[in-house]
Structure 1
């Protein structure tokens, strides 16, 4: 089974996202889901990421099937959650004062896909993503955070490190290399490709 990669970013997260998606090959078999704290504001994020990516990048649409090698971005004002094989969108209560938020995506992915999930938290404010990473790890998935010292806003990765003991704390370049390699492998037990740093 291919991986489900869920990524959270906020302030300072755009450039790391661009570098990460640029590293993924055109035949990449995993599905990528991205939440950025854009609120209800108009966003060109899929277009911006598509300039760097070889993969199809688009806003997620409600009740659409999940396809490998696609990058799905949470649309303005809607939480993106996953069920087995499908994407659901909703305008439920804000989480961490924002909608879309990472925790609903991360938690739903963990419950639907277990050890096939890779969770990534990049630069951003507040603590969104930390609880989601905890649940991903609890369900056997792999969790990675951007090094706080290289983050524009270190709050999100630092909170995740404090709460979750992630499998790795990496530079953006190393996150990109890790996802390129590990996201191309079938799901297996353990995360030996991740060196604790």
Structure 2
């Protein structure tokens, strides 16, 4: 049985509401770490506080070099890419990728490279195509891939571009249940 214990989530325009809904539906005993990239640029972000208040899982901006642990939500801080290096999160001030800083692809590609089948990649609402190459890398490494149904997304570009690499295309209402099932190694009936 595959142990999927690292969830990488990417979102952009309209993502805060979707992330809030998703986090509010996750259980306190989730046996996975969650790393989130929400396009915020160099501006301050209160996303960790919003997510921390939304549900039972503790959320905070990631700190360079910190080990990731189950049951925690790590949010990429403004103006830094978040990467996976072994069992740690790294922050990178390198150039923009896909016009974004933080960008989704660096997180997904590094997670796929470092953790392979342990990763669940999730692409939510957003414009342009950040996350597509990263989701393709997660898929190629044997990780599980989920895309928000583009038909219900505030901004359809990112999910529509990522659909070819999706194991599951789901409405927001079904995302938490699928994530829980994948992290527990079970099946999920929609």
Instruction: Provide the TM-score with structure 2 as the length reference.
Output: 0.95
Q: 1:57 to 1:39 in 2, by over 3 A?
A: same
1:130-163 deviations in Å (ceiling 9; x for gaps)? 00000001100011100111000000000111xx
Deviation at 1:181, TM superposition (A): 2.2
Q: Find the aligned partners of 1:194 and 1:156 in 2 and give their Cα distance.
A: 25
1:113 equivalent to 2:115? Answer yes
The 5 Å alignment of 1:18-97 reads 18-97=20-99
Q: Give the count of matched residue pairs.
A: 188
User: What is the aligned partner in structure 1 of residue 155 from structure 2?
Assistant: 153
From 8, 16, 19, the counterpart of 2:18: 16
Q: Find the aligned partners of 2:176 and 2:66 in 1 and give their Cα distance.
A: 27
Q: Find the aligned partners of 1:4 and 1:52 in 2 and give their Cα distance.
A: 20
Deviation at 1:165, TM superposition (A): 3.4
Contact 1:5 1:33 (8 Å CA) reproduced: yes
Q: Find the aligned partners of 1:184 and 1:52 in 2 and give their Cα distance.
A: 22
Q: Find the aligned partners of 1:102 and 1:59 in 2 and give their Cα distance.
A: 15
Deviation at 1:184, TM superposition (A): 3.1
Contact 2:4 2:120 (8 Å CA) reproduced: no
Deviation at 1:23, TM superposition (A): 1.3
The 5 Å alignment of 1:125-164 reads 125-161=127-163, 164=164
Instruction: Provide the TM-score with structure 1 as the length reference.
Output: 0.91
1:39-95 deviations in Å (ceiling 9; x for gaps)? 000010000111112011000000011111100000000000001110100101100
Q: Find the aligned partners of 1:184 and 1:126 in 2 and give their Cα distance.
A: 33
Q: 1:100 to 1:115 in 2, by over 3 A?
A: same
